[in-house]
Amino acid sequence: MIEPARRQRTLGQALFVLLFLAILFWRLVPLAPGRIGWPGPDLALCLVLVWVLRRPEQVPVLTIALLFLIEDILLMRPLGLGAALAVIGTEAARKREQRWRELPFMIEWLRVGMLIALMMVANRMLLAVFFLPLPPLGQVILQFIATLAAYPLVAGLAGWALGLPRHRAELDTRHR
């Protein structure tokens, strides 16, 4: 018999992996073939940052690395670059999770926005250093804006539908 804390952690990790893979599947489905539109938000990055800041014990670093490596392979991006940046970014957020928890959501959103911006700048710099093709700067900026705008929506849905509130006290009162 699995103790309740371990079962909760395992179920949370399984739910995270399923949601991540659903987002990845959605990105692979050709919804409008031949049409180049506006770059959408990186919902997978929003999801992993929300989960790391709400329930860091449910998303181990190896799970994050493996999922982003799979994403790099399937989206034909430089192998391991997105995974490495995601691991570095999420570990930076995980290290500060205790301090960010008690701050207002606007401060968390600002800090997550700065973290995402740093990750995108690092990605662009590494692509340039290794002479790999760079995506147009305008599209990168638009994706950053879309990702930043999507973060509160993902955080709100995670708190409402998935039971990942910002504060542990909210979770404790909900389960009593």
DSSP category for residue 131: T
N-to-C CA span, the chain: 22
- pLDDT higher than 70, residue 129: yes
Average pLDDT over residues 8-20: 93
- In this predicted model, which residue has the larger pLDDT, 34 or 142? 142
